[in-house]
Structure 1
Amino acid sequence: MHPVLRNFREIKNIKPLSIVSIGHGATHWVNGIFLVLLPFIVQDLSLNYTTAGTMVSIFFIAAVAITIISGPIIDITKKYITAQFLCLLSGFIALVIMSQSTSVYTLAIAAIFIGICVSGWHTPSIPYLSQLYEKNRGLALSIHTVGASLGDGIAPPIAGLIMLYITWQQTSMILSIPVIIMAIYITRCLPSIDYDEKSSKLHVKRTNYWEGLKALLSSKNMLKLCLLAGLWSMTQNGVTVFLPLYLVFVMDASPALVGFALFSIQAGAIFGGPVVGTWSDQIGRRPIVINALLISAILLFLLPLFDNVYLFILIVSLAGCSLYSIRPVIHSWTMDLSDKNASGSAVSMLFTAQAALTGTVPIIGGLIADNYGLKSVFILLTITSLLALILSLLMPKK
């Protein structure tokens, strides 16, 4: 029997994993809509690439803030379900505000709420699943990231197709409805009682939490992993931010084609994520990450050589798949290196590093695009992928 199927059968209660994964998909649904609408918002509001990049950087500034704040709060209060509900509510508010945007200021407010929605989700959800499915952590977190990939993948083509008939403002409003429905579903249907019984046994004094946090901050491997994850995230998010802009402004692509391109980036991760996650449980996280980063660096280096829109989408899709498929591996690696008493803070550290470094890419990439052309941005992303690869080689083999 295939290891994925064997490990999957060992999971006795799939319901919490399913609900949290769908909720994760809803947060990335919001992000996917924002990315596919962004080029057309830029057109309507007459923005330049630097301003467009600044809007995305505001998203990451909010992401840094929410991850710093939420880690200790989640570890001490254990309010996992409430935190997940608030993240989805923020996503709903973001899309409603975006549908009413007439200036960069309202768009910036929407970007803040998107940052809270997307990045705030991980701090409660990853420790929740990591402790609930401790023996199958890699597989569980892989399925969790499949939800994210589905949200990132499905939202853009749906938004693109809808925009063939109505405005981007109306599209944003209509697509906010599934998010609030999922938020309500989380509070009503996520089975918290069984987990609360288990968490009461795991609950420790606050002094033990701070001891765990101190050990976390003093771990050189954890700090290296956070930097590695930040560089990986810079590459991954740089592709998703500048791909729609490149397709619209350089290749004159339609909204539907932009949506399809963003979906194709996620396709490999949707199916490959569980396989890669389970494989990393068996052979270790390091070799998986090294090979994925090497593949992505090579493909991103070759990308500017392709002028045909379909070949370009094919190559960038392969690069995106290699990048997104290791998302659960990096999350599992973080849990491996952290104490369960400070698992929320470990996730907070990881995503703070990711958001802080990734927040520089939209502005730097926007400046490069305004001065040297959008194609030059992919050279920057090749460099960030290579730097992440170097750090992965410096991580211990076990």
Structure 2
Amino acid sequence: MNSPVALAAELPYSLRGSIVRSESLAKIDSTQTLAPSFAGWGRLAANSMAHMVEHLFNGVIAVILPLITTSLGLTLAQAGALASARTFMAGAASFPSGLFADLARRRNLLLGLCLGMIGLGSLGLSAASSFPVLLIFMALGGAGGGGFHPQSLAILSAAYREKRAFALGVHDSSANLAEVIGPLALGLLIAFVDWRTALQIWAIPGLVLGVLYALLGAEDSAAAPQRRDYRRALWEDVFKNKTVFSLVAVSTLRAMGQTALSAFLPLYLSLHLKLSAGAAGAYMSLLFFFAGIAPAFVGWISDRMGRKSLIAVFSFLSVAVIVAVPFLAAGPLLATAFAALGALLWALRPVIITAAMEAVPQNLAGSIVAVIFGANMGVSFLAPLMAGVVADAYGLPAALVFISAFPLLAAVMMSLFFKPANPR
């Protein structure tokens, strides 16, 4: 008699009339459940805390990189290379991490390793005195961050199948809050110690939590899947899946809009509205604050409302807010617009990832995360370049209107081409 796991894996394939693929997928379904030590919502709390630690490393770029540049006499090109090394390695590491997230039995060890790499990156930077060494440890931290997401999201997807969007929303909120808290906390720390000591202190959370998660975060899992069957399922259910393709495109367009806005909203506030650095920072902090708290609520809503409607509506609303910004003077209305952007456009990422996970078998959760993050990182850097060309030619308000085209295309694609899949 077939096991329940095998039957669950075979059903979607049988409906499509492909017996061979159903047998293949039955072999590789490695459904994983919570260990007793992470019963209930403890797993979500642990992964969200780990996600905060992963994003705290971003504070190194915002606060410490200028100090390293000045202290070691680096050129601006070298400083840019350090930031690029982190981003490049994060994107490069996401693909093998997605593979391991779907094939490995002990994902807690891999997630703990990623956190440890982030801690070692900070520790190595604190001791570095030359550009090549800085480059190595910045890349190490970036690889840890890029490898973290497929592991963590695949673990949560298996643990909270009925509340995926909510769980991924809480996970995303923790990262966004870390983006706000990290630079502030690190800046405060720098007021009392030098940058090398600050980096040594900053390494502690990653190293400690990495060891704890590796030791205590084990999942109950079945046997590891076979690679041949995994490759077949990856090709059939991810790369040839039109629903997945549409979601990757929607996610990339959303990321392009977010990346461009992150660069050009501060420029608009400072150069066009002539606001002080403090006032401009207050507006951006408001945006990031709502980006931090909104994903959990948006995920909860999407678990009840449905993915397609929510993503399309929130994308269209984001377009309206972005287009309205150039017509608003500094004050309460502009502040409301910035808060709305955080709650609308920024909060969509976990919902899109949830929809993509529901379109593939559970055993491919890590791979779909890797594909989405890889596509986002590999393409979204183009958006600020294009917006910059528009800004030079027509001004910053026109650049903001141009940026609204990205969520608009995402909304149209979601409305016309996305067909919801039955959750796997």
Normalising by structure 2, report the TM-score.
0.75
Counterpart amino acid of residue 210 in structure 1: R
3-state SS in 2 of match to 1:225: helix
Match for residue 17 of structure 1 among 44, 65, 72: 44
3-state SS in 2 of match to 1:152: helix
Counterparts of 1:206-221 in structure 2 under 5 Å? 206-215=227-236, 216-221=238-243
CA distance in 1, matches of 2:84, 2:197: 25
CA distance in 2, matches of 1:265, 1:38: 24
CA distance in 2, matches of 1:39, 1:379: 32
Q: Is the contact between residue 243 and residue 419 of structure 2 (CA under 8 Å) also seen in structure 1?
A: no
Match for residue 180 of structure 2 among 153, 157, 168: 153
Q: Is the contact between residue 121 and residue 141 of structure 2 (CA under 8 Å) also seen in structure 1?
A: yes
Counterpart of 2:109?
Answer: 82
Instruction: Tell me, yes or no, if structure 1 residue 295 matches structure 2 residue 322.
Output: no
Counterpart amino acid of residue 226 in structure 2: K
Q: Deviations over 1:49-75 (max 9, x none)?
A: x98776554433222211222222222
Deviation, structure 1 residue 96: 3.8
Counterparts of 1:184-333 in structure 2 under 5 Å? 184-190=211-217, 192=218, 195-196=219-220, 199-200=221-222, 203-215=224-236, 216-241=238-263, 251-253=275-277, 258=281, 263-304=285-326, 308=330, 315-333=337-355
CA distance in 2, matches of 1:56, 1:313: 30
CA distance in 2, matches of 1:358, 1:135: 31
Kindly tell me: are residues 261 and 184 of structure 1, through their superposed partners in 2, closer, same or farther at Cα, counting changes over 3 Å? farther
Q: Is the contact between residue 160 and residue 257 of structure 1 (CA under 8 Å) also seen in structure 2?
A: no
Kindly tell me: are residues 39 and 388 of structure 1, through their superposed partners in 2, closer, same or farther at Cα, counting changes over 3 Å? farther
How many residue pairs get aligned? The number is 379
Give the share of equivalent positions with the same residue, in percent: 26
Could you tell me which runs of 5 or more consecutive residues in structure 2 were left unpaired when the two chains were aligned: 1-37
3-state SS in 1 of match to 2:404: helix
Match for residue 336 of structure 1 among 358, 370, 376: 358
Instruction: Tell me, yes or no, if structure 1 residue 131 matches structure 2 residue 158.
Output: yes
3-state SS in 1 of match to 2:57: helix
Q: Deviations over 1:164-185 (max 9, x none)?
A: 5666665444333322222222
Q: Is the contact between residue 141 and residue 328 of structure 1 (CA under 8 Å) also seen in structure 2?
A: yes
Counterpart amino acid of residue 415 in structure 2: L
Counterpart of 1:5?
Answer: none
Deviation larger for 23-32 or 35-44: 35-44
Kindly tell me: are residues 371 and 52 of structure 1, through their superposed partners in 2, closer, same or farther at Cα, counting changes over 3 Å? farther
3-state SS in 2 of match to 1:176: helix
Counterpart of 1:70?
Answer: 97
Q: Is the contact between residue 157 and residue 164 of structure 2 (CA under 8 Å) also seen in structure 1?
A: yes
Counterpart amino acid of residue 395 in structure 1: F
Q: Deviations over 1:128-176 (max 9, x none)?
A: 1111222222222222222222222321332344455666665444333
User: What RMSD, in angstroms, separates the aligned Cα atoms of the two structures?
Assistant: 3.8
Deviation larger for 299-308 or 130-139: 299-308
CA distance in 2, matches of 1:174, 1:77: 32
Counterpart of 1:4?
Answer: none
Counterpart of 1:6?
Answer: none
Kindly tell me: are residues 182 and 335 of structure 1, through their superposed partners in 2, closer, same or farther at Cα, counting changes over 3 Å? same
CA distance in 2, matches of 1:301, 1:42: 37
3-state SS in 2 of match to 1:325: helix
CA distance in 2, matches of 1:108, 1:213: 34
Deviation, structure 1 residue 229: 0.8
Kindly tell me: are residues 343 and 313 of structure 1, through their superposed partners in 2, closer, same or farther at Cα, counting changes over 3 Å? same
CA distance in 1, matches of 2:121, 2:394: 32
Counterpart amino acid of residue 207 in structure 1: R
CA distance in 2, matches of 1:160, 1:14: 32
Q: Is the contact between residue 53 and residue 363 of structure 1 (CA under 8 Å) also seen in structure 2?
A: no
CA distance in 1, matches of 2:80, 2:328: 24
CA distance in 2, matches of 1:317, 1:389: 20
Counterpart amino acid of residue 17 in structure 1: L
Q: Is the contact between residue 36 and residue 244 of structure 1 (CA under 8 Å) also seen in structure 2?
A: no
Q: Is the contact between residue 59 and residue 112 of structure 1 (CA under 8 Å) also seen in structure 2?
A: yes
Deviation larger for 119-128 or 376-385: 376-385
- Name the structure, 1 or 2, with higher relative contact order (CA <8 Å, separation 6+): 1
Counterpart of 1:7?
Answer: none
CA distance in 1, matches of 2:395, 2:126: 29
Deviation larger for 169-178 or 20-29: 169-178
Match for residue 180 of structure 1 among 207, 228, 242: 207
CA distance in 2, matches of 1:317, 1:166: 34
CA distance in 1, matches of 2:268, 2:133: 24
Q: Which has the larger radius of gyration?
A: 2
Instruction: Tell me, yes or no, if structure 1 residue 93 matches structure 2 residue 120.
Output: yes
CA distance in 2, matches of 1:188, 1:360: 41
Normalising by structure 1, report the TM-score.
0.79
Counterpart amino acid of residue 384 in structure 1: F
3-state SS in 2 of match to 1:326: helix
CA distance in 2, matches of 1:82, 1:95: 20
CA distance in 2, matches of 1:332, 1:371: 39
CA distance in 2, matches of 1:175, 1:71: 27
CA distance in 2, matches of 1:374, 1:37: 29
Deviation, structure 1 residue 242: 5.4
CA distance in 1, matches of 2:120, 2:409: 37
CA distance in 2, matches of 1:301, 1:54: 34
